[in-house]
Structure 1
Amino acid sequence: MVMDLGGKEALLTAAAVVYGAVAGRLVPRAGYRLSVEPEEPWRSAGPCGHAVAGWLGRARCGVCGEGYGPGALLPAVVTALVCGALAAVVGARPELAVWLLAAPVAVLLAAVDRSVRRLPDVLTLPLAAGTAVLLGAAALIPGAAGSWPGALLGGAALGGGYFTLFLIHPAGMGFGDVKLAVGVGCALGWYGWQVLFLGAFAGLLLGAFYGVALLAARRAGRGTALAFGPFMIAGAWLGVLAGGAAAG
């Protein structure tokens, strides 16, 4: 019996949701270890004093069971929703594998930036390089809906744009945002310049709305530094969804 197209798409989406939930449950420990101030070493022990075993898994001590950092439920739910939406919109095209591999890293980056307003090189640089290389491989597979040169140009353009903003106002933007912009630009540029502009603008708009909301609620002042990485990542996700839908 041959499964119809709708059934295959539903199965792919369900598999992506399960994958996202599993991957999301593995990021809290890394999030705890990486959420430190600049120049500080990565955390190697929990608040209980016991050593943290490895990088992947729940943020819970394997010796005494004490939890540290955020729980695993929220990252699992967020990553599952992100991956499920990508699979539902992009479908079984080669670039979907790249998006699914990048999604847990992006969720981890957003969590670390939200916690300590820092985007570690150990995540941003591999994300940018991995996205560029894997999209190059995806472009060689029949059925790919994007352009690898467009991805490379997108990474250079968005990275250059954020670098310019950093030079103009370094107090308002960290250099980690510039490095993240390279990976974000590669992902968005894969689907073309319109998607690149859409995703970049969406990130800026989401960040602006959040800042205005904090000011209105008197939870922040005009000079308050905000973590911008989560909004860049959210904008990139929306842009990739739009690009995947248009390519379908």
Structure 2
Amino acid sequence: MSPPDALAGVAVLLSYAWLAAASVVLTVVDVRTHRLPDRVVLPGYAVGIVLFAIAAALTNDPGPLLRAVVAGAALFTGFLLLRVVNTAGLGGGDVKLAGVLGLFLGRIGWDAVLTGLVVAFLIGGVSALVLLALRRARRSTALPFGPFLLAGAWCGILTAVVVA
């Protein structure tokens, strides 16, 4: 592996290490408060874009960076539309987090994006059904969706690593 490739790998690794740390903080905060604080979510855009741009420059391959930006924008826009359609559903923090996770999943590939998205909704839906069946929640009970988004994203990331 050439030195530029190794440095690019370090930049990408650092970005996912940041995401791992932020994931723990966001999960704990969202479960406790039903909030995803901007001061934790929003830096994810800068961390991802800057470190992915460094990797792109070092490898002379802008493809993963461009795909990451498109995926981040697509998930942000899609979740924003879901929020507009049903304001009682997703919160603004979920919308912003979806954009960040789209960025990180998009860096890996479209399969990771799709896996992360589908798994998030699956485990969120199954969890809601279990809580309803156990009478621990009602249809009107608000559940934090951030932890499900994060779990789905990590499933997408880890699946891509295992399959590759």
TM range (shorter): 0.7 to 0.9
Looking at structure 2, the residues matched to 154 and 221 of structure 1 have their Cα atoms a distance apart, in angstroms, of 34
Alignment partner for residue 163 of structure 1, among 49, 73, 80? 80
Q: Which has the higher helix share?
A: 2
TM-score norm. by structure 1 comes to: 0.59
Say whether the 8 Å CA contact 1:112–1:119 is kept in structure 2: yes
- Residue number in structure 2 paired with 1:102: 19
1:223 is paired with a residue of what secondary structure? coil
Alignment partner for residue 211 of structure 1, among 128, 146, 150? 128
Looking at structure 2, the residues matched to 210 and 138 of structure 1 have their Cα atoms a distance apart, in angstroms, of 37
| Cα drift, residue 129 of structure 1 | 2.3
Looking at structure 2, the residues matched to 103 and 141 of structure 1 have their Cα atoms a distance apart, in angstroms, of 24
Looking at structure 2, the residues matched to 173 and 196 of structure 1 have their Cα atoms a distance apart, in angstroms, of 19
| Cα drift, residue 139 of structure 1 | 2.5
Say whether the 8 Å CA contact 1:128–1:180 is kept in structure 2: no
> Which stretch has the larger CA shift, 216-225 or 101-110?
101-110
Structure 1: 5+ residue stretches without partners:
1-91
- Residue number in structure 2 paired with 1:42: none
| Cα drift, residue 134 of structure 1 | 1.4
- Residue number in structure 2 paired with 1:113: 30
Q: CA RMSD in A?
A: 1.9
Q: Which amino acid aligns with 2:58?
A: I
Alignment partner for residue 53 of structure 2, among 115, 119, 136? 136
| Cα drift, residue 244 of structure 1 | 2.6
| Cα drift, residue 183 of structure 1 | 0.6
1:172 partnered with 2:89: yes
Q: Deviations over 1:4-53 (max 9, x none)?
A: xxxxxxxxxxxxxxxxxxxxxxxxxxxxxxxxxxxxxxxxxxxxxxxxxx
Looking at structure 2, the residues matched to 192 and 152 of structure 1 have their Cα atoms a distance apart, in angstroms, of 11
* 1:1-248 equivalence runs, <5 A: 93-94=9-10, 95-142=12-59, 147-246=64-163, 248=164
Q: Deviations over 1:75-129 (max 9, x none)?
A: xxxxxxxxxxxxxxxxx94422211122111110111000010001111111122
Instruction: Specify the structure having the higher radius of gyration (Cα).
Output: 1
- Residue number in structure 1 paired with 2:3: none
Count of residues in correspondence between the two structures: 155
Q: Which amino acid aligns with 1:174?
A: G
Structure 2: 5+ residue stretches without partners:
1-7
| Cα drift, residue 131 of structure 1 | 1.6
